[in-house]
Amino acid sequence: MTAEPRQLRVVFLPFMASGHTIPMLDIVRLFAARDCIKSTVITTPVNAPNISSSLENCVTGATSTIDVHIIPFPAREAGLPEGIENLDQVTSQDMYSKFIFSAQLLRDPVERFLEDIRPDCLIADFFFPFATDIAAKLGIPRLDFHGTGFFPKCAMGILRQYEPQKTVLSDDEPFILPKLPHQVKLTKSQVERRGIDNSGITQFIGVAMEAGMRCYGEIFNSFYDLEPDYVDYYRNVLKKKCWHIGPVSLSNRRMDEKFFRGKNSALNEHECLEWLDSKEPESVIYICFGSTTKFSGPQLKEIALALESSGQQFIWVLQKDKGDEEWLRDGFEERMHNKGLIVRGWAPQVVILGHKAVGGFVTHCGWNSTLEGISAGLPMVTWPVFAEQFLNEKLITDILKIGVQVGSKQWNVMSEGTFLKSGEIGAALKRVMKGSDALEMRNRAKKLKDFAREAVDEGGSSYCNLSSLIQELGSRQP
């Protein structure tokens, strides 16, 4: 008589920021869709309702379950106002650094919970380096989720190991990243952290990277055909144990899953789709800079001027609570009534990008947005601001050749860094939507879209990678 397969217990520890939590919850969905897996997500009180809501209608395998475990967030101990439990709520450079460090105070309650339930695996965000030590103490594998791709991860490793940025004399002098399959040029201003406590955050990133090197392996939200040279480089040259299981956003197949992914949308579903349905195919450009990028009023006005002078139809997502809308009071919104839709707050990005009316994407080059744009087959205008976004820009424009740079050159976590004029912005919009090379970019992007969908379908490279990972975890002795 064949024994029933034992239930695999996997604990997920997402970092408290939309760009980190959303793909982690997509990974929870992917695991839960298989049989014999009990998934538990650890989070804090303020974040719990969104997470529970996101997972409420998740399709699970016949013998799989999902639950949420809540632990208190030590805001007061870190000098943060009570109730600040998500990076999206941070409004200053000082708060940014405090939030990163306050998250490390979650170690004790996480460890106590894991000691009680003894899971088979801990999948923890890169920003929780303590997870490696807890897992080692308990004798369970910790899988690191960095939330970025193979190319930027390889490039970050090169920057850290060889420090080519120190060989140039000025911020604007280009240098080449050595040892990579492609020639990649950057400048010091694109990779040096500014706008934050540089020494403290730099030291913390070093600790997190070292913890990642000691963990059992890494999970990537990517797929083989997107960056094959760098998957191979990461595995064969850098000798890293890893699994690519993306694009994880494609785990949301139903319209309601896509529309309410992340947070409650500021747009009514009917209103959004009705507006898009009224437009010609590939005629609308979507503009969104993520949940943490902070643009000044004058910079937003330059974007508005570029949109108006170009005559381009658009959907533009603005952060809801910034209050810096003096630039809108000259009647821009009224004049753009038939041409543009302004969204204040959270937008159903996957739904919008996937609509046939959308033909281009202005993006900050966060990895989630990058993959979502690729999964929709869209050419992009790249406007990186901080984190690994300048590296993602190089992948989009120089390696994949599916986008154009708007001209951002300055890394800065709490502002736009490089101030860009409407002429520069408008020129990039036209190149992506109507320029001589727009069709070639669009065709390349559409091929990548097809590859992305093939990767996550049964038998695809990402589907099989996840199967292999689950089988390996299940074969370990409990």
Active-site amino acid positions: 20, 125
Instruction: Tell me how long the chain is.
Output: 478
CA neighbor of 446 nearest in space, from 369, 356, 376: 376
The amino acid occupying position 394 is K
151 three-class SS: helix
In 33-166, which ranges are continuous DSSP H helix? 48-55, 93-102, 107-117, 130-138, 150-162
Radius of gyration of the chain, Cα coordinates, nearest whole angstrom = 22
Question: CB neighbours of 88 closer than 8 A, spacing ≥ 6?
Answer: 17, 18, 291, 292
Place of tokens 């727009």: 438
Q: How far from the centroid of its chain's Cα atoms is residue 332's Cα? A: 31
CB distance 128 to 13 below 8 Å: yes
Cα(285)–Cα(35) distance, integer angstroms: 40
By CB atoms closer than 10 A (0-12, 13-18, 19+), residue 458 is exposed
Question: How do beta strands 185-187 and 174-176 pair?
Answer: antiparallel
